[in-house]
Structure 1
Amino acid sequence: MLEDEEIKNLLHKAQAGDQIAKEYILENNINLVRSVVHRFTNRGYEWDDLFQLGCIGLVKAIERFDTKFSVKFSTYAVPMIIGEIRRFIRDDNPVKVSRPVKELAYKVHRTQERLQGLLGRDPTITEIAKELSLAPQEVVAALEAIQTPTSLYANVFHDDGDPILLLDQMKYCEEEDSAYFEKLALKEIVLRLPEKERLVIHLRFFADKTQAEVAQIIGLSQVQISRIEKQALKLMKEFMQTS
């Protein structure tokens, strides 16, 4: 890493258009990008793609850093690198997920990695939930919410003949096919619900919980759960009518 005074001089030159100075700063701070990218692994994106995004964030930090700041360049650069990667992940996801759910999912990932180091194995959902003082269903819901959707027409196998699509691996009898896609459409409607309503519907109709059990899991009264459920069903009906 460069000394503070040296990097300030280089930043002045880089911001004045000196390409050699900019590249020198990039080369000497590239480990910042690597350390940030490591936090975003196992989220469905190629490491090289995230690395390039991190480098864009580092370049922006070089261009925008004010040498009058009373902080080190590296302290300023890290949030810029993180922001560039997070912005891409947020905008790239075709399913829009609320910020609180995303933040919870990132917290679950960090806890998962920490427990993995402590336990020497992959932690269970129950262990992660206990560590975060959450219900296991909330952990599962948060992780599922940020999964990258897979197309039904994704190629899962190809030899000298015709390719086999994911859709081909999900065939049942004609009646079951129809029922399956109806369920798939229903789940897409559920994903459009606000966070609290979506969780209640998930627990009530996908996890087969009673209103009393849902109330205990979420920490609300059964009357409140009943109201949330009614509101959620009303919204779902409106979504289906406008689809």
Structure 2
Amino acid sequence: MIETLIPAEACASEAFGPDGSAVLYPQEAALVAAATNERREEFTTVRGCARRALAALGLPPAPVLPGKRNVPRWPAGVVGSMTHCSGYRAAVLARDTDLMAVGIDAEPHRPLPRGVLEAIALREELAWARTPVAGAAPFHRDRLLFSAKEAVYKTWYPLVGTELEFEDALISFHEDSPGDTLEADPGGTPAAGTRAGTFRARVLRPGTAPGGHPVTAFTGRWTVHRGLVATAITVPARPPSATAATAGRDGDTAAGTDGGVGHPGR
């Protein structure tokens, strides 16, 4: 699922349940020694995903330990992001010569708890999230908005190194036409209940990436599939004259001259 949201330069690994083959390094195991079984399982499985993604990059396995603000500390020369929620774990990694930053998030596709939407959404976002959606299958726009804001923060913090509140990013969404749907059955028909598209986050607080490049916007991809919402942003490593931030297979960009606090280590 997550691989449909990222460019070819990135490597992804995901799991829809416990991974009995994943093993923790002693340093990692110490972090969850007192945790619940559920927490240890998700912690272990998502690190198994990360090590498979490292292998896909041609790199040896390594422990993944939390750094400042719980941002994963990747091996030298690697950027990446991890996420986990009920029934899903994933990691996306890339070499820093290809991508400057990665932020992914996954959530269960169900409504946000009461009051959360109002706490995270700007006026325009709130109006969009509350607009009725045509179609027989439920589409919880509030959860998609939350996931996109998580992906924004998980991209922003490792890149810029400063905090970002939910209200510091204004997000707009575009849905692919049925013919552009990423998930399809073997006959090419979009899978039941699947939605996909792009999103754009305009950052309302100034920030600067390494090298002094302004970061004012991100674009990413999203999908709703198998009862899950997933979002992803990638920022390419480009010359100083190039775009500050971009994401997705379709090459959408957000010019650096254009113009939520989440859990970066999830």
Normalising by structure 2, we get a TM-score of 0.23
Larger relative contact order, structure 1 or 2 (CA cutoff 8 Å, min sep 6) = 2
Bigger strand share: 2
Bigger helix share: 1
Return the index of the structure with the highest Cα Rg. Answer: 1
Normalising by structure 1, we get a TM-score of 0.25
